[in-house]
Amino acid sequence: MSRRKYSAPLAGVITGIGFAAKSLEPSLMPRSAIDQGLIMAGSFGTGYMVGSTAARVIGVIPVLGGTAALRIAGVIAAGARSAQVFRLRDGEHDAPTNEASIWTEAGAEVLVAVGVAGTASGGGGPTVGAVGGIAVAASTASDVRTALALRDDHVDPMYLATAAGVALGAVSAVAGLLASILVSGTLARRATGATGLAGELLRSGVSLGVASALGFGAKVALTRVIASIAASNQAVEIAYSNAPEAPEVSGGEQSLVPFDSLGLQGRRLVSVVTPAATIEDVMAQSARNDPVRVFVGVESGSSIEERVELAMRELRRAGGFERSTIIAASPAGTGYVNYITVEAAELMAYGDIATVAIAYGSLPSMLSTSKVKEASALYGALVARLRTEIDELDTDISLLAYGESLGAQTSQNGIESIAEGAEFPLDGALWVGTPHGTALFTRMTKQDGFPVFDTPAQLRDHIADGNPVPQATFLNHDNDPVARFAPSMFYEMPDWLAVANRGRGMNPHQRWLPGIAFWQGLIDTKNAATVVPGEFNSTGHDYRADLASFIRIAYGFSDVTDDQMARIEQKLRESEVERAANIALGTVQSA
């Protein structure tokens, strides 16, 4: 085998190691050593593909392939980069915001890897090869040191060792699978003695068969895991196993919606409606009514039409159209509606409010993207029916929308589907943590000039400047990965990293790295909301500390005083701790 063929895999390894080292740089969220290892594995794989491909392409270019000039230039460039290891870089470090310069830097590193790989493969003699290897090692050490200096968290040797171990294990596992696919075909050809075209066809066919078998096995395993997750979201919990007695909520004796059809999240929601006594205790005034909570589960109806019709009948039965405010909430993938939002609104409305939600699935939002179209149609149909009935009743009922995370996306999609060329069908909307790329969010914020708020203070300042409360209020934290991450980060710098001032809660040294930022963003999205019950934070995808203040303004509860707000905030924290304790009791089956 020629030296040139040897240099392509080596160039891939060198580039992959460089990408893995840079993946230690800061991103939106703190990450564990295991998470870092997964990011390093993905970054290494990307770097390997880029480096090995570049070496093969350059190798067939007559002017460059195999030339001593390229190899020597690679060694010199690696040495120049490795000199950074001897410089202290603990001072200010401005993250580059020019995409072209970053691509230039990445391209130069790939060329360095190709040149050094060619030298190390025997193209420049053992001495030059050794120098190139030392230069690459020093350069990688410099990248690691720089990356760690820019991070906000402390990374100790154990963290690095664990991350490296996870990365090595993941890369080895993938390499082993690929090797087994390739080797199986080769062994089959040797065993049969087939040669020529027949041998190649046999080798390719066996390899393809093994790959298909592995893919099928992975699909079956994934299907079983997803089915298990869905089943767990239908489990009956000890604390929420009895149907509620209040007639104003779904699932009770008078309800049209069977309690056992609500699912885990639905049963939680209808079991904790805010009683009048609690409203009076927190608000220090008499309750105006008993809150209504209507929830229709996935198992409550077999079609969108059935579930929407059931929700409307149930809302009438429970007295929802006798309340001054109706919140149409679009749940997350599991059917989850943020209890903090519902309880805060019930307190601020003194109970004169109804909340209605219809579930569309039983899987977490990250696994429910295939349900977006159905969920959007479901929400749009619900709002259209609500708007029609309220208009026919000719009352002053305020119809409000609420959606969080995937619920914000499906809510906005549903509104867009019924509002084309027509008047906005809502009296107000609060959309929280809208995922990146949602069409209505993009149009309303980019074209129509709707502001996006990061904190309650920004919303208050907006109102204080003489602006009206927005008809649709968008709350997105500056450092929320759900609102920031897009698959295109793999090859394209996002707008929010193309500016020097990235916003609250963001590391000013974070930069976009092609082929690396995607893996960082993927793990950041997984870690977007790490919560402790009762400890409300305003960061990432955790909006608990902001919700009450936004509900007060966005939904027009202007008669709520600051003293009442303080008591509401305290009650919300107490309720969350109590809810966590109830959930910790487990399910009826496990009991």
Task: State yes or no: pLDDT of 546 exceeds 90.
Answer: yes
For the chain, give the mean pLDDT.
89
Supply the angle between the helices 263-271 and 339-348 in degrees, to the nearest 10.
30
Q: Which of 392-405 are b and which e, b meaning 16 or more Cβ less than 10 Å from the residue's Cβ? A: eeeeebbbbbbbbb
Average pLDDT over residues 2-30: 85
Q: Are 406 and 332 in contact (CB under 8 A)?
A: yes
Res 122: pLDDT: 59
Distance between CA 525 and CA 540 in Å, rounded?
A: 9
Distance between CA 447 and CA 541 in Å, rounded?
A: 25
At 150-166, the pLDDT tens digits run 998 889 999 999 999 99
Distance between CA 283 and CA 563 in Å, rounded?
A: 9
Res 364: pLDDT: 83
Distance between CA 122 and CA 129 in Å, rounded?
A: 7
Task: State yes or no: pLDDT of 131 exceeds 70.
Answer: no
Average pLDDT over residues 89-116: 75
What's the pLDDT band for 194 if we cut at 50, 70, 90? confident
pTM of the predicted model, to two decimals? 0.88
What's the pLDDT band for 104 if we cut at 50, 70, 90? confident
What's the pLDDT band for 466 if we cut at 50, 70, 90? very high
> How many residues would you count in the chain?
591
What's the pLDDT band for 127 if we cut at 50, 70, 90? low
Res 87: pLDDT: 44
Q: Where in the chain is the domain with CATH 3.40.50?
A: 244-477
Q: What does CATH list as the number for 244-477?
A: 3.40.50
3-state DSSP helix/strand/coil % of the chain, to nearest 5: 60, 5, 35
Res 200: pLDDT: 84
Res 88: pLDDT: 40
Res 82: pLDDT: 52
Average pLDDT over residues 560-577: 97
Using DSSP's 3-state secondary structure scheme, residue 198 falls into: helix
Residue bearing the bigger pLDDT, 511 or 86: 511
Average pLDDT over residues 443-472: 95
Task: State yes or no: pLDDT of 121 exceeds 70.
Answer: no
What the block records as the tokens of 78 is 């690696």
Residue 472 backbone dihedrals phi, psi, to 5 degrees: -125, 120
Of 62, 50, 60, nearest to 9 by C-alpha is 50
Lowest mean pLDDT among 6-20, 54-68, 240-254, 347-361: 54-68
